[in-house]
Amino acid sequence: MSKLARRQFLQLSAVAAAGVIVAPVREAGASDLPQLSEDDPMAKAMKYTHDASTVDPSTRNNPAADQTCANCALIQGDDGDAWRPCQIFPGKAVAANGWCSVWAPKA
């Protein structure tokens, strides 16, 4: 390795190392995520809606009466947020008042 190439390598290594050290490590919050569209093919397949009250309870697989994304075991993020990440729809935020056919009770 020539002196110049070695110097460039060392400089790039130092820059890369500094970038790793100063890069903020944070979890994606719902505010960072685009809202899931009801027209998204995966959302349609899961019968996702922004408003759980529009779903006829008799069509649900699970008989629990009060089902919203906010009380689903698969919701993530912070209680009280209107839009939150969901394990079923990575990279998107779902409505806390929403619902889909994968709804599961919290343990």
Contact footprint for ligand SF4 (CB under 6 A):
48, 69, 72, 74-75, 86, 88, 94, 98-100, 102-103
What's the closest the beta carbon of residue 73 comes to ligand SF4, in angstroms? 7
Show the tokens assigned to 64: 């629990």
Hey, CA dihedral for 86, 90, 95, 99, is it positive or negative? Answer: negative
What's the closest the beta carbon of residue 66 comes to ligand SF4, in angstroms? 12
Closer Cβ to ligand SF4, 15 or 82, answer by number: 82
Closer Cβ to ligand SF4, 2 or 53, answer by number: 53
What's the closest the beta carbon of residue 26 comes to ligand SF4, in angstroms? 22
In 1-107, at which residue ranges do the beta strands (DSSP E only) sit?
A: 83-85, 93-95
Angle value at C-alpha 90, between 80 and 46, nearest 5 degrees: 90
21 by DSSP, 3-state: which?
A: helix
